[in-house]
Amino acid sequence: MPAAKVIIGCDTGFFKHFLEGTPRSLDVWHQARSGESRLVISCISLFELRRLGFKGAIPSEKATTLVSNLPTVCTVIWLGQDNQRLIDRAARMAHGNGLAMADALILTSLIHAGAEEVYTTDEDMMRYKSGPKISKL
């Protein structure tokens, strides 16, 4: 029986590092592409990446390509009516841990998807201690 794949959560900052070629982000990406792990992301990250492209923080064409292709490589956690408990949990997490709204929604989505480790660039996510290992890039 094959070993279960490690589930890795990635926030928006992970993909900025990926586009910049940061070694750790490339390693995580290649592990997922080789089937060693499975990447999960929040739909909020898709929004943030598109916005970063519009603002010029990352090249617009790279943002467009990345957002178009991420759902084929990663499991996207979508927020919708059937995720009311996820929304409630994110609100509690934001309130209790001082997280920004987007970070709370992203982190809650990744936890909901079973992420065992989360890669982030956000200091506020590092304060959350009750779930998966949070690794700062």
Coil vs helix vs strand at 127: coil
**Domains of the chain from N-terminus onward:** 6-136 (3.40.50.1010)
Coil vs helix vs strand at 49: helix
- Residues 35-56: what's their mean pLDDT? 96
Q: Are 64 and 49 in contact (CB under 8 A)?
A: no
Task: Tell which residue, 20, 16, 18, 45, has the closest CA to residue 29.
Answer: 18
Nearest-5° Cα angle at 9, 5 to 13: 145
Q: Tell me the pLDDT tens digit for each residue of 105-116.
A: 999 999 999 999
The values of phi and psi at residue 77, to 5°, are -95, 115
- Residues 51-77: what's their mean pLDDT? 95
Please list, in sequence order, all residues whose beta carbon lies within 8 angstroms of the beta carbon of residue 25, skipping any fewer than 6 positions away: 14, 15, 17, 18, 119, 137
Q: Tell me the pLDDT tens digit for each residue of 122-133.
A: 888 888 778 899
Coil vs helix vs strand at 100: coil
pLDDT value at 103 more than 60: yes
Between the two ends of the chain, the Cα-to-Cα distance in Å is 33
